[in-house]
Amino acid sequence: MGIWKPAWLEALETQKFFVACSFHENAKKNEKNICCLDCCTSICPHCVPSHRFHRLVQVRRYVYHDVVRLEDLEKLIDCSNVQSYTINSSKVVFLKKRPQSRQFKGSGNICTSCDRSLQEPYIHCSLGCKVDYILRQKKDLSPYLRTCEALQLSPDFFIPHDADDEANETTQSTVVEGEEPIGSSDSENLSVPCTEFVRKKRSGLSACSRSVSRVSDEDMAANMSRRKGIPHRSPLC
């Protein structure tokens, strides 16, 4: 019997995440941070409406590596003995191997595949390490797989609106009812309110300047009143 992996597991291990989506190059927030388990491909938030009936898993980044919530993976495969980490109050598991460059010193366990130091009682540092260990030792992954018919993104996951819809909403919000487009009316009618505004603005500025000058004159008068008298010199002997 040959070594067999489910297609969705191969996708989690081989697909590239956090790269720009080719279908939404000009859209904002177009990084591929979702894996469609039914299509076995990585997608961006703009692609979610097209995969809304598929099983979706959000992929996150932690220390420059891809991670997935432990709660989501536990619905697909047995993740026991895989060391988890806490990010934003959620436990996550690394997807791929993370070889350790430094030699391990001290107490604790060592990963069965990449020799990374681990906390007890864990023996795998990532899901990929556990899968490789099972296939290497037992040659059969099926006892660890679980049946999952539906898997959706968390409710707090942000799904942006379509770019065309956003453009239409922006255009409609900027048009005010009752306004006439510039250029369709007479130029004289348009120039009148502008002239009045300039006059009001100038009058306001002049009033401010007059008030400033008046205050400055009063201050100068007060300063003059507070000056001491001319000092008298002592008579020459």
Question: Per-residue pLDDT tens for 160-174?
Answer: 765 445 434 433 433
pTM as predicted: 0.64
Bridge partners of residue 131, in order along the sequence = none
Question: Per-residue pLDDT tens for 41-84?
Answer: 999 999 999 998 999 999 999 988 999 999 999 999 999 999 99
What single-letter DSSP state applies at residue 31?
A: B
Q: Parallel, antiparallel, or unpaired: how do β-strands 90-94 and 117-118 relate? A: unpaired
Q: How far apart are CA 134 and CA 128, in angstroms?
A: 10
The mean per-residue pLDDT over the stretch 192-216 comes to 45
Percent with pLDDT over 70 in the chain: 63
Please tell me the predicted confidence (pLDDT) of residue 113. Answer: 87
Task: Tell me, yes or no, whether 117 lies in a domain.
Answer: yes
Bridge partners of residue 36, in order along the sequence = 41, 56
**Count of the separate structural domains present in the chain:** 1
Q: How confident is the model at residue 224 (pLDDT cuts 50, 70, 90)?
A: low
Domain boundaries, position 51: 7-149
- pLDDT at residue 158 tops 90: no
Question: Per-residue pLDDT tens for 89-118?
Answer: 899 999 998 877 666 566 678 898 888 889
Q: How far is CA 184 from CA 181, 189, 191, 220, in A?
A: 6, 11, 14, 55
Task: Tell me, yes or no, whether 46 lies in a domain.
Answer: yes
Chain position carrying tokens 């409710």: 155
Residue spans of alpha helices (H) in the chain: 7-14, 70-73, 127-137, 163-174, 187-225
What single-letter amino acid sits at 32?
A: K
Please tell me the predicted confidence (pLDDT) of residue 117. Answer: 87
What single-letter DSSP state applies at residue 37?
A: T
Task: Tell me, yes or no, whether 201 lies in a domain.
Answer: no
Please tell me the predicted confidence (pLDDT) of residue 219. Answer: 62
Task: Tell me, yes or no, whether 100 lies in a domain.
Answer: yes
Q: How far apart are CA 46 and CA 27, in angstroms?
A: 8
Question: Per-residue pLDDT tens for 103-156?
Answer: 656 667 889 888 888 988 999 999 999 999 999 998 899 999 999 999 989 877
Q: Parallel, antiparallel, or unpaired: how do β-strands 34-36 and 90-94 relate? A: unpaired
Task: Tell me, yes or no, whether 108 lies in a domain.
Answer: yes
Please tell me the predicted confidence (pLDDT) of residue 195. Answer: 41
Supply 195's token pair.
Answer: 């002239």
Task: Tell me, yes or no, whether 20 lies in a domain.
Answer: yes
Please tell me the predicted confidence (pLDDT) of residue 142. Answer: 92
